[in-house]
C-alpha cells in the first residue's frame, strides 16, 4: 500500500513507511492541499487544493483536473480555492470552495452546477474567516452514512448546515454550533463529531471581523440538532481534526489559533480516548510542543498521522512536515508515536491507496 501525502506545496507519494526523503515522489503540483479522499463506492482518489480539484484512477500516477468553477474572490486578489470534495454512493460529486459556493456533478466531473440553495442560507451574511470577512471557506463536506442524499457542510467560520436533498436546499444550523468548523466526522446517521477552532481575538482590533465560537471537539447524537462539547476544560481548544479507529478517538489541539504559531507562541497536545470521549488521556508525540497533528490514516494495520504548522499569516521556511506511526508498547506506559518520515512542507492530508 502506498501513501499519498498532501502538503502546503503539492502532493507526494511514497511506496511504504518508514521512508527517506529520497523516497518521496512529487505526483501533483497543486499548491496547498486541502483534502485527499477516497471511497469504497467510487473509483479513484480525489484531491482538493488551492489550484482546483483532481482525480486519479491509477493510485496517484496520473491526475485529471476536474475543472471545478473557480471565480474571482470579490475584491481579494486571485481565484477561489477548492476546500472540500465529496463523492456519494449515488454517483454524484460535490466540491466546496472558499467564496463559499457548493458545486455538484453527475457526470464524473465533466460538468458542474452550482447548488444555489447553499448561498441562500440565512446566516451566510455572518460567515467570516481568519483572513477577511468575505473569505469564508466550505472546509468540510460529508454524506450521512446510509443516506447519500443527506449532506453536512461545515463552514470556516459559519457553523454546520444540513441538506436532505443532495444539496439543493439547506437547513441553517448555525444556531447550534457557530464555531470555526474544520472537520465533520459522521459516525452513524445521528452521531457525528466536529473539530472546531475560533477566529483569533486580535482580529477584532485589526478590523477584520470578530472572534467567534469557543473551539473544541463536539459531538451530536441527533443529526446536528444539538451539540455537546467533549473536551470541556481543555486548554487546547483549537482543534483541526479528529479520527476514530478501533474504538479509540484521537485529536490534537493547540492552545492558540494560527497567528500565535508564527513565532511558536503556543503549545500543542495530542489526546486519545477509549470510551468515545468521556475521558481523554494526553499522550506524547515527536512534534511536541509546537507541531499540530492535522491528519490520520491506517496503514498496514497501524495508525499513522501527519503534522506541521498551518494557515499562519506568514508561511515559515523553517518548518518541516512529519509522518508518525503509533504503536502499543504492550505495557501500562501507553502508546508510542515515532517519526517514520519527514517532508519539506507541512503535512495537511494523508491517504492510503
Would the CA dihedral through 115, 119, 122, 126 be positive or negative? Answer: positive
Nearest of 112, 34, 40 to residue 71 by alpha carbon:
112
Rounded distance between C-alpha atoms, residue 44 and residue 176, angstroms: 35
Measure the N-to-C terminal CA separation of the chain; round to a whole number of Å. 6
- Statement: the pTM of the whole predicted model exceeds 0.85: yes
Nearest of 51, 104, 115 to residue 78 by alpha carbon:
51
Rounded distance between C-alpha atoms, residue 225 and residue 245, angstroms: 25
Q: Which three cell numbers stand for residue 54?
A: 483532481
Q: Which three cell numbers stand for residue 158?
A: 459559519
- The full set of domains in the chain, from first to last, is 1-21+243-353 (no CATH), 32-52+77-229 (2.130.10.10)
Nearest of 43, 37, 2 to residue 19 by alpha carbon:
2
Average pLDDT, the chain: 89
214-217 CB contacts, 8 Å cutoff, 24+ apart? 214/179, 215/179, 215/180, 215/239, 215/253, 216/179, 216/253, 217/193, 217/242, 217/251, 217/253, 217/277
- List beta partners, residue 155: 138, 159
Rounded distance between C-alpha atoms, residue 84 and residue 73, angstroms: 17
pLDDT of residue 206: 47
pLDDT of residue 189: 95
Query: Which stretch of DSSP H or E encloses residue 202?
Result: helix 202-206
Which DSSP string do the residues of 79-134 spell out, in sequence order?
A: E--EEEEEE-TTS-EEEEESS--EEEESSTTSS-EE-GGGGG-GGGGG---SS-TT
Which regions in the chain score pLDDT beneath 70? 72-78, 129-134, 178, 199-213, 313-315, 329-332
pLDDT of residue 126: 78
- List beta partners, residue 159: 155
Q: pLDDT, tens digit, for every residue of 135-182?
A: 788 999 999 998 888 999 999 888 899 999 999 999 988 887 767 899
pLDDT of residue 213: 66
Rounded distance between C-alpha atoms, residue 223 and residue 187, angstroms: 10
Identify the DSSP state of 8: T
Other beta carbons within 10 angstroms of residue 64's beta carbon come to 13
Identify whether the C-beta of residue 240 lies closer than 8 Å to the C-beta of residue 252: yes
Q: pLDDT, tens digit, for every residue of 181-235?
A: 999 999 999 999 999 988 654 544 444 444 456 889 999 999 999 999 999 989 9
pLDDT of residue 130: 57
- List beta partners, residue 305: 296, 324
The torsion angles phi and psi of 123, rounded to 5 degrees, stand at -85, 5
Other beta carbons within 10 angstroms of residue 331's beta carbon come to 6
Rounded distance between C-alpha atoms, residue 245 and residue 95, angstroms: 26
Amino acid at each position: 500500500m502506498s501513501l499519498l501525502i498532501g502538503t502546503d506545496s503539492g502532493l507526494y507519494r511514497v511506496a511504504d513507511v518508514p521512508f527517506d526523503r529520497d523516497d518521496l515522489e512529487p505526483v501533483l503540483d497543486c499548491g496547498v492541499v486541502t483534502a485527499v479522499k477516497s471511497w469504497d463506492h467510487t473509483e479513484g482518489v480525489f484531491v482538493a487544493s488551492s489550484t482546483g480539484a483532481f482525480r486519479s484512477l491509477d493510485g496517484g500516477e496520473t491526475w485529471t483536473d476536474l475543472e471545478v468553477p473557480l471565480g474571482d474572490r470579490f475584491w481579494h486578489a486571485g481565484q477561489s480555492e477548492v476546500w472540500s470534495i465529496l463523492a456519494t454512493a449515488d454517483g454524484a460529486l460535490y466540491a466546496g470552495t472558499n467564496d463559499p459556493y457548493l458545486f455538484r456533478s453527475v457526470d464524473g466531473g465533466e460538468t458542474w452546477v452550482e447548488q444555489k440553495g447553499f448561498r441562500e442560507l440565512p446566516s451566510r451574511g455572518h460567515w467570516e474567516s481568519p483572513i477577511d470577512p468575505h473569505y469564508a471557506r466550505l472546509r468540510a463536506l460529508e454524506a450521512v452514512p446510509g443516506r447519500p442524499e443527506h449532506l453536512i457542510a461545515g463552514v470556516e467560520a459559519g457553523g454546520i448546515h444540513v441538506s436532505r436533498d443532495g444539496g439543493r436546499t439547506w437547513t441553517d444550523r448555525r444556531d447550534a454550533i457557530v464555531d470555526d468548523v474544520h472537520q465533520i466526522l459522521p459516525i452513524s446517521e445521528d452521531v457525528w463529531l466536529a473539530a472546531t477552532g475560533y477566529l483569533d481575538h486580535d482580529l477584532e482590533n485589526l478590523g477584520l471581523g470578530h472572534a467567534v465560537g469557543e473551539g473544541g471537539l463536539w459531538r451530536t447524537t441527533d443529526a446536528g440538532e444539538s451539540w455537546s462539547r467533549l473536551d470541556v476544560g481543555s486548554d487546547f481548544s483549537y482543534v483541526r481534526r479528529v479520527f476514530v479507529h478501533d474504538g479509540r478517538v484521537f485529536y490534537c489541539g493547540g492552545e492558540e489559533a494560527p497567528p500565535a504559531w508564527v513565532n511558536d507562541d503556543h503549545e500543542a497536545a495530542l489526546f486519545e480516548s477509549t470510551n468515545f470521549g468521556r475521558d481523554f488521556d494526553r499522550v506524547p508525540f515527536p512534534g511536541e510542543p509546537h507541531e499540530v497533528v492535522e491528519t490520520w490514516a491506517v496503514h498496514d494495520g497501524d495508525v499513522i498521522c501527519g503534522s506541521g504548522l498551518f494557515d499562519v499569516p506568514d508561511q515559515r521556511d523553517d518548518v518541516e512536515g512529519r509522518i508518525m506511526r503509533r504503536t502499543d508498547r504492550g505495557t501500562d506506559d501507553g502508546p508510542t508515536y515515532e517519526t517514520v518520515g519527514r517532508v519539506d512542507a507541512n503535512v495537511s492530508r494523508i491517504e492510503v491507496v
